[in-house]
Amino acid sequence: MKILKILRKTYFKLTYSLLHYLVKDDVQVMGWPGIEDHINIQNDLINKVKFKPTDVVLDLGCGTGLTTKRLSPMVKSIIGVDNCQGMLIRARKNTKNCSNAKIVYSEGRELPFKNNQFTRVICYSVFNYLAGLDEAKLLIQEMIRVSRQGAIIFIGEILNSKKKKIIALSEHIEASGLRVKGLGWLHSIVAAIVYHLLAWYDPIDLMNFCKELDVKGVVLSREKPLLYINETFDFLINI
């Protein structure tokens, strides 16, 4: 089981590194159908987190840096972090005109930052690619370590294990984010396999872990026009 988790994490990291060279679009390379879907995600994030001009923000799992760029004019400073060099190349390019933004390579479990540094931490569509609950707990602890008292940690698009189901290939053809022209059938098969390789979480497990750490964890619902609302949830931690 442990070997499977390691292989799963390695598979996703290699996949995203490869996609950097195969997919030109900065949105589709992260798994979203188009820019409109990504803007919807950003709008929902901004509405839930309530950023302030004085905020010092960590964008953990920044991908191509599009959200880092969007938030840059709203806050005092923002640092985007990712462990995929291909994504970081794009993120640095996309944020090159953002004077208060910085892009850094790091694994989430060992962030290169001091204690109590950030007022807002966002971590969107990352937990699904971790090895499982144990690694998720380590990442939560690390996010709390670098957060100031009164900070908000937002973890977005977490797969809900209570809503996991067997999905037919036909559903993946309709729902899959990336569609490679001429190879849609192949991608739908890969998507069906990947669907079951992803890490799924029980919201209660995350809430109970927050109680152990003496912080407040809140489960947030996801609504249209966001994608994958039936099987995912958001999670907010108040420090």
Across the chain, mean pLDDT equals 83
In a domain, 176, yes or no: no
In a domain, 188, yes or no: no
Q: Both tokens of residue 97?
A: 């005109």
> In the chain, pLDDT over 90 holds for what percent of residues?
57
In a domain, 194, yes or no: no
Rounded Cα gap, residues 228 and 128, in angstroms: 13
HSE (side-chain half, CA atoms, 13 Å) at 145: 14
In a domain, 9, yes or no: yes
In a domain, 49, yes or no: yes
In a domain, 50, yes or no: yes
CA-to-CA dists, residue 108 to 22, 29, 145, angstroms:
25, 20, 12
- Given a cut of 50, the residues of the chain with pLDDT beneath it are 167-170, 172-173, 176-185, 187
Residues 6+ apart with CB under 8 A from 202: 160, 161, 162
* Domain residue limits at 7: 2-164+200-238
Residue 157's pLDDT is 94
Q: What is the pTM of this model?
A: 0.83
In a domain, 179, yes or no: no
CATH of the domain at 26: 3.40.50.150
For helices 133-145 and 203-212, what crossing angle results, to 10°?
Answer: 40
For helices 2-22 and 85-94, what crossing angle results, to 10°?
Answer: 40
Rounded Cα gap, residues 171 and 174, in angstroms: 5
In a domain, 191, yes or no: no
Q: In this structure, what DSSP letter does residue 25 have? A: -
Total tally of structural domains belonging to the chain: 1
Rounded Cα gap, residues 116 and 113, in angstroms: 9
- pLDDT tens string 96-146: 999 999 999 998 888 999 999 999 999 999 998 888 899 999 999 999 999
